[in-house]
Structures are given as C-alpha cells and as structure tokens.
Amino acid sequence: MTSASLRTEDLTIRFGGHAAVNMVTCAFKAGELTVIVGPNGAGKTTYFNLISGQLKPSSGRIFKGDDDITALSASARAKSGIGRAFQLTNLFPQLSVLENVRLAVQAQHGLGPVIFRSARSFANLRDEAYAYLEATRLQAAAALPVTALPHGDQRKLEIALLLALKPDIFMFDEPTAGMSVDEAPVILELIEEIRKDTGKTILLVEHKMDVVRSLADRIIVLHNGELVADGMPDEVIALPLVRDIYLGMPAEDAA
Ligand SMILES: Nc1ncnc2c1ncn2[C@@H]1O[C@H](COP(=O)(O)OP(=O)(O)OP(=O)(O)O)[C@@H](O)[C@H]1O
C-alpha cells in the first residue's frame, strides 16, 4: 500500500456524551485536494482541530506518513509540515504586515528573533516575505499595522503566513468566508497553484458548492461526526444522502 501523507484511524472526540467526530478513518494522498463538506455542526472544524493538534482525541490515531503524531503538540505538528492558516492572535499587532510575515519566514528558516543579523540575510528574508504578500495580493497593505487590516485582508494574511511555513499539508477552513467577490478568486487561484505541486496535500473545508466543484479532486462528507461518503466529486454530489444533507442550503448552493 502506498503510504498516505496523512491518515486518521478511528478518530473520535467526545464532548460530554456527544461524539463530535466519530470513528473517522480516512487517508489523504500527496497531490490530492480533498474538500470536506457537511452541514453545520457535522464535525468538520473539530476534525481539523484534531489533525492540527488544537484538540486531543478521545480515541483513535493520526499518522503523518508512517509516523504516529497523535501525541504531538500543535506546534510540533506545524514543524512537521502540517500547515493550517495561522490564527491572527499569534501576530505582533504593533508591527507591519510585512514585518509579521518576515518574522514567520525567519522562524521557518530556524532563525530566532536575533537582533544582530547581516543586512544581506535580512534583505533575503524580507524579499521572501514580500513574495508571499504578492502571492496573496497584499502588497498595498505591506506597511500597515496588522490591526488596521479589513477582514478580507486578514484572511489573506492568514494564508501568506501559511505559505511562509512551507507546509506539505495545507489545511484551509473556509478560506474565502467573509471575502468580497473580488477578493475570493485570488485565494482560489492561489489554492489552484499550490495544488499543481504534486508534493502537496490539501484539505479544504468549504460550504460553497461552486468552489467545491471547481477545486475538489475528491469529496468527503461528514454528518453527525461520521464519515458518510467519500469519492469523486460527481459521484458524491449525486448521492441522495448528500442532496438530502444540502437541502437546507441556499438555493444557489444546492446541487
Ligand atoms: N469545545 C467544544 N465543546 C463542546 N462541544 C463542541 C466543542 N467543539 C465543537 N463542539 C460540538 O461538536 C459538533 C461539531 O462542531 P464543528 O464546529 O466541528 O462542526 P462544523 O461541521 O465545523 O460546523 P460549521 O459548518 O457550522 O462550522 C457541534 O455539535 C458542536 O457544538
């Protein structure tokens, strides 16, 4: 069997008596973009929190490649290459957008916040950081303090910081939520770019069916914490169960 880049085995978490994620066994391959869908409260975000290490499972295991990472902290998982959009609470609010990304690049290169650093290496770090701002179309905001960013730009910054981590597994939780119709395509194109790299694995939680259709190589469906469908987009979208689940969605999103 080819080794999956990420795998969960009987993954379960209970809050009180309620299993928010229930015995989810699923493997994700490099080069594949999997969209995770399901109605509100299905367990999608909780599944992400278990994979990225924000939550510890009640039972079950998580593997990255052949390594059991179930016991690793969230930061150890990030270092191992599991990248989830940074929480903006980790930022330095008084510093500019560019400086924040530069610090993330510096950390990724294994350089601490050292005061004395050659001008040349500093310029290299800044250039790399600026490239991530270009990729997310945030150049115009480079000099602004992060606290001054409107919501859409904050979401882009989360993704610029994720790029700085250079993960091999990318996790996006509704990356275009709250973005304007002008802003969302930039992020979707960027995800397309990442997907072209066959070494990368992408997991995407998404509600918008047009986005799901255009990006997914594969769709998995969570419902009441359980994995209820897994397959090619057309097959999964056609399943009566999935149509039932999505009946409550806005008309333009329904399959
Ligand atoms: N920390 C927690 N304590 C108690 N219950 C929780 C906790 N986190 C999640 N839950 C519950 O677990 C279930 C799954 O929630 P989750 O947020 O993962 O769903 P979701 O599929 O991401 O939904 P949405 O699409 O609305 O974001 C819900 O019933 C939720 O109330």
3-state helix, strand, coil in the chain (%, to 5): 40, 25, 35
pLDDT of residue 200: 94
One pLDDT digit (tens) per residue for the chain, 255 residues? 456 899 999 999 999 989 999 999 999 999 999 999 998 899 999 999 999 999 999 999 999 999 999 999 998 999 899 999 755 666 788 899 999 999 989 888 876 655 556 666 778 899 999 999 999 999 999 999 998 998 888 888 989 999 999 999 999 998 888 888 888 888 899 899 898 888 899 999 998 888 888 899 999 999 999 999 999 999 998 888 788 776 555 444 544
pLDDT of residue 120: 63
Nearest-angstrom CA–CA distance, 174 and 208? 9
Could you report the predicted ipTM of this complex, rounded to two decimals?
0.96
pLDDT of residue 57: 98
pLDDT of residue 94: 84
Cα(15) to ligand 1 centroid in Å equals 9
Buried b / exposed e over 42-63, threshold 16 CB at 10 Å, is bbbbbbbbbbbbebebeebebb
pLDDT of residue 109: 82
Spatial CB neighbours of 76, under 8 Å, sequence gap ≥ 6: 53, 69
Q: Helix crossing, 151-165 with 184-196: angle to 10°? A: 10
Cα(213) to ligand 1 centroid in Å equals 25
User: Which among 5, 9, 20 is positioned nearest to 62, based on CA atoms?
Assistant: 9
Q: What is the pLDDT of residues 191-225, one digit of tens each?
A: 998 988 888 999 999 988 888 888 999 999 999 99
Top mutation candidate among 45, 172, 207, 227 for ligand 1, by most atoms within 8 Å of CB: 45
Encode 107-151 in three state secondary structure: HHCCCCCCCCCCHHHHHHHHHHHHHHHHHCCCHHHCCCEHHHCCH
Q: In the numeric block, which tokens belong to residue 61?
A: 């295991």
**Total-model pTM:** 0.88
Q: Which CATH number fits domain 1-81+200-255: 3.40.50.300, 3.50.50.60, 1.10.3720.10, 3.40.50.720?
A: 3.40.50.300
pLDDT of residue 111: 64
First CA to last CA distance, the chain: 34
Top mutation candidate among 12, 22, 44, 51 for ligand 1, by most atoms within 8 Å of CB: 44
